[in-house]
Structure 1
Amino acid sequence: MNVAVVGRSLRLSIGMLTALRVPIVLRVTPGVATGALLLAPLAVLPLGVLVGVVVWAGGRLDLPALGVAFAALAVLAVGSRALHLDGLSDVADGLTSSYDRERSLAVMKSGTAGPAGVAALVLVLGAQAAGLMWFVGLGGEVRSAVVAGAAVCASRAALWITACSLVPPAREDGLGVTFTRRVPVTVAALGWIGLAALAVLVDPVRGPVSVAVAGLVVAALTAHTVRRFGGVTGDVFGAGIELALAVLLLGLAGA
């Protein structure tokens, strides 16, 4: 992968995963799409920094931990245009609306949030906030803020699983055609092993275990949606990211 392709891939990843303005990538080749997925954790580094700053500042000012946690999640939602939260809601509604594949996909595409979608948002955001509260409660410790921000970046590695070469698209149009089946299984596995190795720096036991559980949760979600929908959609990508973030924040809290 040459420098030009890496540059286009990074711009595409930033444009998809954040609200930051970058030059538009007009031609998305398979190589650029694959690169965008692999660079996802790096592309959201600005969002990770923002979350870390909110956590650090809230702790230093001795603000209520729950309020700071939700403020950090609000910053993250605005910074990502809430696309992943929308995906989580749509997937929950699709999985609970019907056992018929076409009806489930139609519900997901409608864009409205049903009871299951709302419940999923409340539960997953609540879990994320609970994890962030612990980091805030350390009173502005820089290390805890860095770990919280790193968890945001690492959660985007969920795309390595949902877009791996074994996973088909649920539809023949839309995001699935461009970004599914792009990440080789070996690359996805090695990437998550690398994240687990880095997590040892946080805690020799809880770090890699948290990463492993996050990966298993995303893999389970992916397998289930493939059984129910015949493949994955962009909504599944977002749901995987939000679930991975919840597991990482809860698992690393107290480490």
Structure 2
Amino acid sequence: MFALLASFALAVQFLTRIPLNINITVSEQRLGQSVLFYPLVGLLIGSFLLILIHLLPEQSFAINAAIILTAWVLVTGGLHLDGLADCSDAWAGGLGDKERSLKIMKDPAAGPIAVIILVLILLLKWNAIQSLLLADTGLNFLLLAPFLGRVSILILMLSTPYVRENGLGSAMQKHLPQLAAKLIVLISLLLCVWFTNFYTLLSMLLLVGGIRYLSIQRIQGVTGDVYGASVEIVETAILISLAMTYG
């Protein structure tokens, strides 16, 4: 039981800025186990957003949507946005070359393409959140989007080779409990259909499949930045899909 709690705490520490004053011995096996809790961390993030939205006045949906989005970014420390930015620059500046693309991904500087993509993704999220708040069809989207965004990491880890031999991502993939991860993905996808509709699930799977295809074509696998980009793209797609359905 302690091992599971330690793995969950490690996942929270890695994916969020939630302060946990816990000293955890980090091993490669524990890193792999922690990935199983990524969807649960997504639910934790969503729960925080749910609490926040109930504390806000209902007069201004646009401002509330902006506050929710700001809190969303802050609680994750912009971790996945950073991955999306790195991938955007790599795909634009890599010129189809694997090594050049990987080198750009490691560059901490953000180019103009990264800035444009980040602005667009945040605008889309803000608009979708505002539409869903206006529609008043419930707040499940605040749980569903961060949850499925992190499920996408499991799907990519299970299906796509990791490019870099060293690093956290490689250790996580090597020591990921395969059967447990597959069960979590299956249950998560079934829950997606149960709480939303088949089209939301289909849009998510098509996007993850597209990300996987493009990554294999460009760099013959995935990196941590690709995982981050997947989270942001899937979250945005879920919000837009729900907004178009119910908004």
* TM-score, normalised with respect to structure 1: 0.84
Greater shift, 19-28 or 75-84, is seen at 19-28
* Separation in 2, partners of 1:182, 1:86: 25
Is it true that 1:33 corresponds to 2:31 in the alignment? Answer: yes
* Separation in 1, partners of 2:192, 2:160: 27
Deviation at 1:82, TM superposition (A): 0.5
Cα deviation digits, residues 11-64 of structure 1 (max 9, x gap) = 11101111112224323233x233211211212333212222344455x5221x
Match of 1:216 among 196, 206, 224: 206
Greater shift, 181-190 or 223-232, is seen at 181-190
Match of 2:165 in 1: 172
* TM-score, normalised with respect to structure 2: 0.87
* Separation in 2, partners of 1:214, 1:9: 26
Greater shift, 49-58 or 125-134, is seen at 49-58
Q: Which has the higher helix share?
A: 2
Determine helix, strand or coil for the equivalent of 1:145. Answer: coil
- Identity level (%): 26
Q: Does structure 1 retain, via aligned residues, the 8 Å contact 2:17–2:77?
A: yes
Match of 1:13 among 11, 14, 17: 11
1:113 alignment partner AA: A
Q: Does structure 2 retain, via aligned residues, the 8 Å contact 1:155–1:244?
A: yes
Match of 1:136 among 109, 133, 137: 133
Is it true that 1:97 corresponds to 2:85 in the alignment? Answer: no
Determine helix, strand or coil for the equivalent of 1:169. Answer: coil
Q: Does structure 2 retain, via aligned residues, the 8 Å contact 1:214–1:243?
A: no
| Residues 1:76 and 1:12: Cα distance change in structure 2 (over 3 Å) | same
Root mean square deviation, CA, Å:
2.3
Q: Does structure 2 retain, via aligned residues, the 8 Å contact 1:170–1:176?
A: no
Deviation at 1:229, TM superposition (A): 1.6
Q: Does structure 2 retain, via aligned residues, the 8 Å contact 1:167–1:180?
A: no
Deviation at 1:124, TM superposition (A): 1.7
Q: Does structure 2 retain, via aligned residues, the 8 Å contact 1:55–1:136?
A: no
Cα deviation digits, residues 189-236 of structure 1 (max 9, x gap) = 554442332234434xxx232123113212321231122123211111
Match of 1:156 in 2: 150
* Separation in 1, partners of 2:53, 2:143: 9
